[in-house]
Structure 1
């Protein structure tokens, strides 16, 4: 890290950022940072759909479909968990901007190299490295977005951005049908990966203009740089919107540090905020189980129980992906107006109850492929907003110095538990070919989601429309009263 002067500073930077009106500058942040989730959705969907093509004769790779969807998916998940933890720690240490450029660069390189796979080991290696980059993105991007977006818009922006994963999933589901059907066996699947790399380059070009978080800057001894950054943004907005921005009154005194140790971060999360740590685990594990209950073996369920042709399952997947995106889009604003606890617990419990109803209808043989997909679409319309709110929650209820690592830790735990245990359990239940066993998979996913909603109802934090420093005082803050917030803000023991 470069040499910086550290001391004690009193600053209004957080309050100045939070009171900014929405502007083209904020749209640049959303496009530059948020669109990366489209790549994640694209990646996961493509791999799920190319298993048959890459394992076919003439594909150029000696690999089986089971290896692609099994070990290949596991390597991607393992990479995502490792990347989230490793890059999350680096993001808190070296800054948001450096790491969200590095992680996207890693994703681009690994995806491009996956496209030229010539053997199974090469494919598995670069699936792991692709996951490593995407996992790092989750920590770097969510922390940067929450620190740059005004508090009154933070909830809806974060939730909609995380929901764009499903735009990528829908695009991947539809794009792979003609690419795999019309191009030669050894070309189509490579082009699918190439699409992800091209989109990543476009995002990288926009991302170059996204600044470092001013909150991170002033805590790490770069308060002058933070002030200049916010000065420039304010001047641009005043010129664009022809207004004079009032100066906020709220200040905070910070004892600057170059680095903050891992032990300090861990102690903060486990000792100062144990209830919020339990909340984060419950939300991430709950949504991971529900999504695995529905999306894992999605094509198998359609082909086994409803005799849908294998080549047509992508169209059904595109429909539920659309439902997943529309949920955050329409419900997202309510997280800032109605409130976090009501909306998070409501979407978790509501989607769980809806999935229980779907399981009952499915078990009684009352659904067709079309009506089953319609039921899934309704369930995921509600669940997607809740799942996105899990990332929002852990990114705003812990001190700024621990934010990226907190996101990474809960993402890794949720992905490891729900993304490994879930598929192993649900695969065994679906593979039996018995309707009752598959219905049990739905019930398990629904129950875990409902548990997450109940935990939110008791341990959730009323964080809507409040500054991040009011929700969780920075570890480096010297005056305890300077960040006292509004009602519902929990003390450091929560």
Structure 2
């Protein structure tokens, strides 16, 4: 593969050295510093769902109707898709650490600006840039996490970290429960303060994130092998000091790498769709499936509860808290099974299983069976199952493509899948909820179940047994192939 700056050929054992590390304080810093993005995303997405009912009321200071709430959700997702692509490419080119600092800054500025919204168009603009920052985070963070966490626990750690999105949701809902109470704050102020919760937590994440190093895997490929060796050696010394035991020798064969400073966008796209077409189909199916159902429900749950169950806007966050906690418990309790039972059976079961429960939910809804608590209880069961599978979509894409393309692969499949499912879902749910007709909303739930089930069947067909396997075994780095090609012609 020519056309890129080359800096030399090296032999490295950095991946094996990282994978054989025992769990340590270093890994906890990675989890807190990088995993915090999911808490932020949960705050952002759920915040709009929580305050949406209030923003449609008179006296809110920015009168929106349910359909415009759906439009705002679609704009947020559009920003996230474009931000993922833009920042994802920069992440593969300039490094994980540089970009996960920049994208967090974009998020912080944009979410603070949202609190000052005075008209629908302004609200739409700030939601777009907030989404762009979060989308960029997805690419930078997921690639860095998988490259810094040992292979034997990569699945459960990644899934639980992605599941912390719902801790953010619960925190946002709890905060909104207080802030939307008009006995505490005026109707035109409480929802504005709600957006400040994300900014405050984002500053904390930024401070922790300063102590997370650049990915050694990225460094040695981009001609900075000495820096990679230094970082890994520092981590090893810290771990040995913490455990009081010498580390075992790394296993496996060393990698021979032909270093390159840049890899073209064309080469990256070629890898995804020509070299690994079956994996590309798998990634798209998983993202589209979860994005349609999740975004459709999340962005519109507040208005759905208010319109069809008469839940007061100030009480909507209470339902969100219960639903969000069920979503977090899914990855927390099921995550380890993705490393033991395996990726393929667990992802298949979570997608198809959740689809079955959503169909039951749709029937309950259209027949007016039970009250709001019944509805939220069945919804919680559906998403307890679905949430682990949704988190596994990010894990899957970050594992099955070569390291040089990892961040952009996450961004590409997130952007395409979410653009199809994540934009259409909120728009469809928003419009049908606005109709006030249960039978129309029923079909949106059924469609979401069908899309989830279809993704589960694609996983059953094309899924990859990635559990406990090194990243370099799942997809050989392009630079290794370059080195082998160079040896064959020399």
Shorter-normalised TM range:
over 0.9
Judged with a 3 Å threshold, the aligned counterparts in structure 2 of structure 1 residues 353 and 125 are, in CA distance, closer, same or farther, namely: same
What is the match of residue 130 of structure 1?
Answer: 130
Pairing partner for 1:233 from 235, 244, 252: 235
Q: Which moved more, 1:418-427 or 1:350-359?
A: 418-427
Alpha-carbon shift at residue 214 of structure 1 (Å): 0.3
Residues 149-228 of structure 1: pairs in structure 2 closer than 5 A: 149-181=149-181, 182-228=184-230
Taking only aligned residues, the RMSD between alpha carbons, in angstroms, comes to 2.1
Give the TM-score, by structure 1 length: 0.92
Partner residue, 1:358: 361
Greater RCO, 1 or 2 (C-alpha within 8 Å, sep 6+): 2
Q: Deviations over 1:397-437 (max 9, x none)?
A: 00001100010011111221112222233334434433333
Q: Tell me the equivalent position of 1:414.
A: 417
Aligned partner of 2:394 in structure 1 is: 391
2:250 to 229, 248, 255: 248
**What's the CA shift for 1:358?**
2.3
State whether residues 46 and 298 of structure 2, in contact with CA within 8 Å, keep that contact through their aligned partners in structure 1: no
Hey, what's the Cα distance between the residues in 2 that align with 1:146 and 1:206? 18
Partner of 2:8: 7
Q: CA deviation at 1:57?
A: 6.2
Calculate the TM-score normalised by the size of structure 2: 0.93
In 2, the alpha carbon distance for the partners of 1:318 and 1:265 equals 40
Match of residue 305, structure 1, among 293, 308, 317: 308
1:6 alignment partner, SS class: strand
1:49-198 to structure 2, matched below 5 A, reads 49-51=50-52, 53-54=54-55, 61-66=61-66, 69-181=69-181, 182-198=184-200
Equivalent position to 1:317, from 314, 317, 320: 320
Contact 1:163 / 1:388 at 8 angstroms: preserved in 2? yes
Distance in 1 between residues matched to 2:438 and 2:54, nearest whole Å: 29
Contact 2:143 2:406 in 1 (8 A): yes
Name the residue aligned to 2:347.
344
Q: Distance in 2 between matches of 1:295 and 1:358?
A: 15
Deviation at 1:72, TM superposition (A): 2.8
Q: Is the Cα contact below 8 Å between 1:42 and 1:169 reproduced in 2?
A: yes
Higher deviation after alignment, 425-434 or 88-97:
425-434
Kindly indicate whether the alpha-carbon contact (under 8 Å) linking 2:6 and 2:258 is maintained by their aligned counterparts in 1: no
Q: Which SS does the other structure have where 1:367 is aligned? A: coil
Return closer, same or farther for 1:199/1:362 CA change in 2, 3 Å cut-off. same
Deviation string for 1:100-131 (max 9, x for gaps)?
A: 00000111111222223455444332222111
Residues 1:52 and 1:478: Cα distance change in structure 2 (over 3 Å): closer
* Kept after mapping to 1: 8 A contact 2:75/2:127: yes
2:488 corresponding residue in structure 1: none
Q: Which runs of 5+ in 1 are unaligned?
A: 482-494
Structure 2 residues without counterparts, runs of 5 or longer: 485-490
After TM superposition, give the deviation of residue 56 of structure 1 in Å. Answer: 5.8
Say yes or no: does 1:28 pair with 2:26.
Answer: no
Match runs of 1:34-49 below 5 Å: 34-49=35-50
2:276 to 263, 273, 278: 273
Once the two structures are overlaid, the 10-residue window that deviates more, 430-439 or 177-186, is 430-439
